[in-house]
Structure 1
Amino acid sequence: MSKSVERSRASEALTVCDPVWERLRAETQEMALSEPALASFLHVTVLHHRNFNASLSYQLAQKLGTTEVRAMQLREIFEEALKEDPSIGEAARADIVAYYERDPACHSYAQPLLFFKGYVALQSYRIAHWLWMKGRRAMALYLQSRVSDLFAVDIHPAARIGKAVFIDHATGIVIGETAVVEDEVSMLHGVTLGGTGKESGDRHPKIRRGVLISVGAKVLGNIEVGEYSRIGAGSVVLHDVPPHCTAVGVPAKLVGCAGCDKPSHEMDQMIQNSDAGSGI
């Protein structure tokens, strides 16, 4: 079986049986009934569409389109990406579930798609990354620039980001070109995954599965933050952090374990033993 046929069947399967889409539609219908002033917006953004991918591509295109690069042109690109690579839509669905489960301000699956700029910025990155990997780098960088201008979120399209990722509030997020963010990571606004200067090559952090990065933290250089670790608010991390640990401070020091098995899910940012630090 060819890869194109496999992708087409995967896309069809998601359309036929898609619990995220079914729940999102039901929530949107209820929202339209309870808030008639939003009914037209909700219909054109969600209820009018045949599946999740169509709704997502419409929403992204409407947000990112300009008079020079119109929404309809962008939507065609987004639909092409979602059709050719079903993993983009799968990750977008997993991200919605992550927002719902981890953000106490998120009370429905519909909210991230409709109202949360961190979610929209992350899905825009996913399309930009697809374009980058296809060699369409000018368009990928255009999307990066538009997202930065609109949302104050700057994710390089060459960065590699997994699924079930939660970016809360999102203002001031910066993720560099060679950064890696694995599945189930949570981060808050003002986080930087950056370099340390003008070095070239592989120069950005590798954030492993299930890490929690709190408000305003800076993780700099080609270093690794081990799985299920925590980075405290305002910290500057310049060296590797072992798995299942907490690092806090400027420069960051280890202050004990991560406090739970899955800190990115628990979203517990309280540091209980901050005076027990050791340098890293």
Structure 2
Amino acid sequence: MAKTHIKVANVDPVWDRITQEARDAVSAEPLMGGLVHACILHHKSIEKALSYRIAAKLSSNEMSMVILREITDEAYAEAPELVEAARADLVAIYERDPACHRLLQPILYFKGYQAVQAYRVGHWLWTQGKRDLAYFFQMRISEIFGVDIHPNARIGKGIMIDHAHSIVIGETAVVGDNVSMLHSVTLGGTGKEEEDRHPKIGDGVLIGAGAKVLGNIRIGNCSRVAAGSVVLAEVPPCKTVAGVPAKIVGEAGCDQPSIRMDHRFGEKP
């Protein structure tokens, strides 16, 4: 007796939720229909929607949207971990940002999320030896989003960059998983060194607005860098540093500061 092959449909509860939110958004505000359909409802998966969004944002007279979509589609097909990271970033923003009420919002409106996803494609291009294309991505991300991340920098997943204005992340910087940072953060060098010269940010770190972390130094896991600080020396795990230059002012206050998002120190969270 011949076997019957039953095709099982792919189930993606995250994408199903996003598309339902999109339909609700159009119902509530029909004038948004064109944008929401183009960015969400015309696509069959989150990676196709992100490919469209990245290409639409970065395209210019110098590089068409069609070409950029082809590049991004190839990246997602060849490196599924990019999609995994995009999902983790999306959930991180939804869980940590009190201004984010729907999974739909970062894809449509949050430049921090969009910039990081575009960077991830640029980083993939860099690893494939396509350096000029990677530099093009870096240039356009900086021009469009005000976020300048070198394509050689390595950034983990579960990343939230809130507001994402004037972010600078240097060539040899490394950012771990589940890191949160606010606007005007710099992960930079201290001079004209050419080798490994940028910070290494551990997992679960919270970096406040306007903080500068400079040089090939490590910021330990689950630590906090207070807003406006200039960090020039190693930070042990689970500590809070503040000041110019930054000094240890106490413990991190909790085991997951990047998730708790509490920037206060000197008092109980």
Determine helix, strand or coil for the equivalent of 1:120. Answer: helix
Which of residues 76, 83, 89 in structure 2 aligns to 1:95?
89
CA apart distance, 1:68: 2.0
Q: Which residues in structure 2 correspond to 1:142-157 (within 5 Å)?
A: 142-157=136-151
Kindly indicate whether residue 251 of structure 2 is the aligned counterpart of residue 257 of structure 1: yes
1:17 Cα deviation (Å)? 2.9
Amino acid at match of 1:181: V
2:219 alignment counterpart: 225
Cα drift, residue 19 of structure 1: 2.2
What letter matches 1:172 in structure 2?
A: S
Deviations 1:176-214 (A, max 9, x none): 000000100000000000000001100000000000000
Q: Supply the distance in 2 between the matched residues of 1:29 and 1:191 (Cα, whole angstroms).
A: 36
Percent of residue pairs identical? 57
Matched residue SS, 1:269: coil
Answering whether residue 128 of structure 2 is matched by residue 128 of structure 1, we say: no
> Which of 69, 78, 103 matches 2:72?
78
The alpha carbon displacement at 1:21 in A equals 1.1
Q: Which moved more, 1:193-202 or 1:16-25?
A: 16-25
Instruction: For structure 2, list consecutive stretches of 5 or more residues without a partner in the other structure.
Output: 1-7
Of stretches 223-232 and 19-28 in structure 1, the one that deviates more from structure 2 is 19-28
Measure the CA separation in 2 of the matches of 1:201 and 1:26: 48
Report the counterpart of residue 177 of structure 2 in structure 1. Answer: 183
RMSD value over aligned CA atoms?
Answer: 1.1
- Deviation sequence 1:41-98 (CA, Å, 0-9, x none): 1011100101111100000000000122100100000000000000000100110000
CA distance in 1, matches of 2:223, 2:174: 15
Which residue is 2:39 aligned to? 45
Measured after TM superposition, the shift of residue 23 of structure 1 is 1.2
Amino acid in the other structure paired with 1:254: I
Map residues 1-280 of structure 1 onto 2, 5 A cutoff: 16-272=10-266
Residues 244-265 of structure 1: CA deviation (Å, up to 9, x unaligned):
0000000000011000110000
- Paired residue secondary structure (1:53): helix
2:251 is matched by which residue type in structure 1? Answer: C
CA contact under 8 A between 2:205 and 2:223: conserved in structure 1?
yes
1:199-238 residue CA offsets vs partner (Å, 9 max, x unmatched): 1100000000000000000000000000000000000000
Please report the TM-score for the alignment, with normalisation by the length of structure 1.
0.91
Contact 2:250 2:265 in 1 (8 A): no
Return the alpha-carbon distance in structure 2 between the equivalents of residues 185 and 268 of structure 1: 13
Distance 1:196 1:68 in 2: 34
Task: Note if contact 2:167-2:184 (Cα within 8 Å) is conserved in structure 1.
Answer: yes
